[in-house]
């Protein structure tokens, strides 16, 4: 698996890259945002937020405009607002420094499992005029393709697995973001709001008060 490590601090980047290589990963390390955007696309990006030239959030935003490559943000910023912004920009996970190599590798594998669904989970999902194709990661309404960000797609695909069934917020955080965060989950609301707008029918995704959300059956 090819990893792109975007980290300007040699004291962190060098042992991190060495540790990942020992675990069998192919690692390219860059020290700034510009080089990150110019690097060949890897299988996964480990992205620091505090870079010397371009803010890590901007790097993530630019990557998301042209690629679905998984992104794990690695940063000293641990406030909820930082997590929300990172997830909203399309990050697949968010790891706060300091962290252990074992935890990082576990998160890398968890992210890759989510973005590479098992064949049995790749069946086409339908609810009324909505069609969700997990294998092609394509969504359409009445035959019209609807472009979604990776996280928007994952939220919708989870709800579409069982139309009419309520899906609680903890499960959405766990299955889509790979976290057991129990605090406020503004990122979910932001993604649901974007989905309602893009799908053209605000009532297609219903709020289940005190629980989470469900996809209308028809």
Same domain, yes or no: 17 and 38: yes
Give one DSSP letter per residue of 44-101, joined into a string.
EEEEES--SSS-HHHHHHHHHHH----EEEEES---HHHHHHHHHTT-SEEEESS--H
Average of pLDDT values for 201-210? Answer: 92
Average pLDDT of the residues of the chain: 87
Average of pLDDT values for 59-66? Answer: 90
Q: In which residue are the tokens 């990006």 written?
A: 45
Instruction: State the CATH number of the domain containing residue 22.
Output: 3.40.50.2300
* Closest by Cα among 96, 70, 69 to 82: 96
DSSP structural state of residue 134: T
Contacts of 135 (CB under 8 A, 6+ apart): 117, 122, 124
Same domain, yes or no: 21 and 103: yes
Instruction: State the CATH number of the domain containing residue 160.
Output: 1.10.10.10
> CA 22 → CA 27, 103, 164, distances in Å?
10, 15, 47
* Closest by Cα among 37, 159, 128, 47 to 92: 47
Three-class secondary structure of residue 4 per DSSP: strand
pLDDT score of 121 more than 70 = no
Domain that holds residue 174: 119-215
Greater confidence, 99 or 83? Answer: 99
Average of pLDDT values for 173-182? Answer: 74
pLDDT in tens, 151-160: 999 999 999 9
pLDDT band at 141 (very low <50, low <70, confident <90, very high): very high
Three-class secondary structure of residue 205 per DSSP: strand
Greater confidence, 70 or 98? Answer: 70
Greater confidence, 18 or 187? Answer: 18
pLDDT in tens, 7-27: 999 999 999 999 999 999 999
Domain boundary among 68, 83, 115: 115
What is the pTM (predicted TM-score) of this model?
0.58
d(CA 212, CA 9): 40
Q: In which residue are the tokens 């955007």 written?
A: 37
The domain tally of the chain equals 2
pLDDT band at 120 (very low <50, low <70, confident <90, very high): very low
């Amino acid at each position: 698996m090819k990893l792109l490590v975007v980290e300007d601090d040699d004291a962190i980047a060098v042992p991190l890259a060495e540790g990942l290589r020992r675990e069998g990963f192919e690692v390219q390390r860059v020290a700034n945002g510009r080089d990150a955007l110019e690097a060949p696309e890897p299988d996964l990006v480990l992205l620091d937020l505090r870079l010397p030239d371009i803010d890590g959030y901007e790097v993530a935003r630019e990557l998301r405009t042209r690629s679905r490559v998984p992104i794990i943000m690695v940063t000293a910023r641990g406030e909820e607002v930082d997590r929300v912004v990172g997830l909203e920009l399309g990050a697949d996970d968010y790891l706060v420094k300091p962290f252990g190599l074992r935890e990082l590798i576990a998160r890398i594998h968890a992210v890759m499992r989510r973005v590479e669904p098992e064949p049995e989970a790749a069946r086409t999902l339908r609810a009324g005029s909505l069609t969700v194709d997990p294998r092609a990661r394509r969504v359409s309404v009445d035959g019209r393709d609807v472009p979604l960000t990776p996280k928007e797609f994952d939220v919708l695909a989870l709800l579409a697995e069982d139309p009419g069934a309520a899906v609680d917020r903890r499960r959405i955080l766990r299955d889509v973001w790979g976290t057991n965060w129990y605090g406020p989950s503004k990122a979910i609301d932001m993604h649901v709001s974007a989905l309602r707008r893009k799908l053209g029918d605000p009532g297609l995704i219903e709020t289940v008060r005190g629980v989470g959300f469900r996809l209308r059956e028809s």
